[in-house]
Amino acid sequence: MLSAVIVPAYSYKPVVIIHGVLSGNVTLYPLVRRIQEVHPGTEVYATDRFGGWSSLEPMWHQVLEIGADALQFMAYHPQGVHLIGISK
């Protein structure tokens, strides 16, 4: 006799990716695509704030602005997010 197996629906937490110095979200596209390929339906946000030369602005200023962006994104996802900081 066969019985039905009920698999609970699982959704991955959204991902926020922050680039490093002298970089931008263009360099993050391969990572964004790979996350979405391996984990379909996962919402991925790659910030472009302070991309390129503006990444050389004072760090305290960058932290305040990018931090505000991340907090706003997290407010829409109270179940939590994965935060990735990457620099090459």
What digits encode the pLDDT tens for the residues 42-55? 999 988 888 888 88
User: At 32, is the pLDDT very low, low, confident or very high (cuts 50, 70, 90)?
Assistant: very high
Question: Exposed e or buried b for every residue in 30-66, given b needs 16+ CB within 10 A?
Answer: ebbeebeeeeeebbbbbbeebbeeebeeeeeebeeeb
Sequence spans of domains, the chain: 15-85
Residue 3 has pLDDT above 70, yes or no: no
**What value, to the nearest 5°, has the Cα angle with vertex 12 and ends 42 and 71?**
80
Q: Name the 3-class secondary structure at 31.
A: helix
Q: Which residue has the tokens 């829409």?
A: 76
